[in-house]
């Protein structure tokens, strides 16, 4: 039977810049972006979140289904609307986000009457993926419920993949973020992080230092991404290796660069590809994604091979 993956988090409406100072309406969110790209790469993946019962939520669900992402575990909250974010980019393609998401339904996924059914569902996947943004949504009580669900899934043989995706504005303080990250890393099999996030969280002075520190916390497999620079891959029992992108790319928009890298990496690993080659696949997909505006690029822009 083909492996099944779950991606947990929040998808928001997305306003991305277009010519003339206009914005296009789409959708995006770190773990949703990864789920979409995983589905495009042939992985059976479900997205676990909560949405409203509004027309925008209907359109997002339809779009996810059209991408092949399973929506059977999406919960709908009456009278609520999804969150919204706006992207601004500078001349180098680097982005800045503005958010409207304080009452987003996704924040309540692990505090709903339906939560026990979500928890039960998590135990049925071969791979569970989430991020530091996911953790920041749920609050202390919700995170405790989530950790219990992840423990049950891993006891049943599931692997947990995690990207720290640290966003300071999402946390009350850095101590709370560090504590939550430490708890999830104890349970993590594959850590897929960005050096900028680890440096901001833990003051790591180099990607290899970040990889070595993370490897002591629990993950047997660590990848530290560093934008256009080589990624560090560290597998238990081996020395760190650098994986260089195959070609230099001038970015249009770096949104979802890390999310797409993670998708290609995880899809490759689920297909039995070794970590170094999986990281090369991650670089290839990320290079295609940053050539286009917005989080989800057109299907026609996907690389012919990953």
Residue 259 falls in the annotated catalytic set: yes
* DSSP string covering 253-296: --TTHHHHHHHHHHHHHHTT--HHHHHHHHHHHHHHHTTSSSSS
On whether the CB atoms of residues 160 and 190 are closer than 8 A, the answer is: yes
Q: Report CA-CA distances (Å) from 155 to 123, 126, 306.
A: 9, 11, 31
Question: Which residues are paired to 221 by β-bridges?
Answer: 190, 235
CA-wise closest residue to 179 among 144, 208, 203: 144
First and final CA of the chain: distance in angstroms?
22
Residues in the chain: 306
Catalytic hit among 30, 163, 197, 259: 259
Q: How far apart are the C-alpha atoms of 52 and 57, rounded to whole Å?
A: 6
3-state secondary structure of 120: helix
On whether the CB atoms of residues 41 and 79 are closer than 8 A, the answer is: no
Q: Which long-range contacts (CB under 8 A, 24 or more apart) does 77-80 make?
A: 77/50, 77/51, 77/52, 77/53, 77/105, 77/108, 77/112, 78/52, 78/53, 79/52, 79/53, 80/51, 80/52, 80/53, 80/54, 80/104, 80/105
Q: How far apart are the C-alpha atoms of 147 and 218, rounded to whole Å?
A: 15
Q: How far apart are the C-alpha atoms of 84 and 232, rounded to whole Å?
A: 33
Active-site annotation, residues: 259
């Amino acid at each position: 039977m083909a492996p099944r993956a779950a991606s947990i988090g929040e998808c928001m409406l997305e306003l991305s810049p277009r010519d003339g100072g206009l914005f296009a309406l789409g959708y995006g969110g770190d773990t949703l972006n990864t789920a979409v790209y995983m589905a495009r790469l042939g992985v059976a993946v479900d997205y676990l979140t909560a949405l409203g019962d509004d027309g925008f939520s209907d359109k997002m669900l339809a779009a996810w289904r059209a991408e092949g992402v399973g929506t059977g575990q999406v919960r709908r909250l009456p009278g609520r609307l999804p969150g919204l974010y706006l992207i601004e980019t500078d001349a180098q393609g680097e982005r800045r986000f503005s958010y409207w998401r304080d009452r987003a339904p996704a924040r309540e996924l692990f505090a709903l009457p339906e939560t026990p059914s979500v928890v039960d569902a998590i135990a049925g996947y071969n791979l569970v993926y989430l991020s530091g943004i996911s953790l920041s949504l749920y609050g202390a009580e919700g995170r405790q419920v989530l950790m219990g669900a992840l423990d049950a899934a891993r006891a049943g043989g599931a692997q947990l993949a995690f990207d720290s995706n640290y966003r300071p504005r999402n946390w009350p303080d850095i101590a709370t973020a560090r504590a939550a990250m430490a708890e999830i890393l104890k349970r993590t099999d594959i850590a897929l992080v960005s050096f900028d996030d680890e440096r901001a969280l833990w003051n790591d002075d180099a990607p290899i230092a970040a990889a070595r520190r993370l490897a002591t916390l629990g993950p047997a497999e660590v990848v530290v991404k560093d934008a256009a620079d080589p990624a560090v891959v560290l597998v238990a029992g081996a020395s760190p290796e650098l994986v260089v992108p195959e070609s230099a790319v001038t970015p249009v928009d770096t949104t979802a660069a890390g999310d797409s890298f993670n998708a290609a990496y995880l899809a490759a690993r689920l297909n039995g590809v070794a970590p170094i080659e999986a990281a090369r696949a991650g670089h290839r997909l990320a290079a295609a994604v940053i050539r286009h505006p917005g989080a989800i690029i057109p299907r026609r822009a996907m690389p012919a091979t990953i």
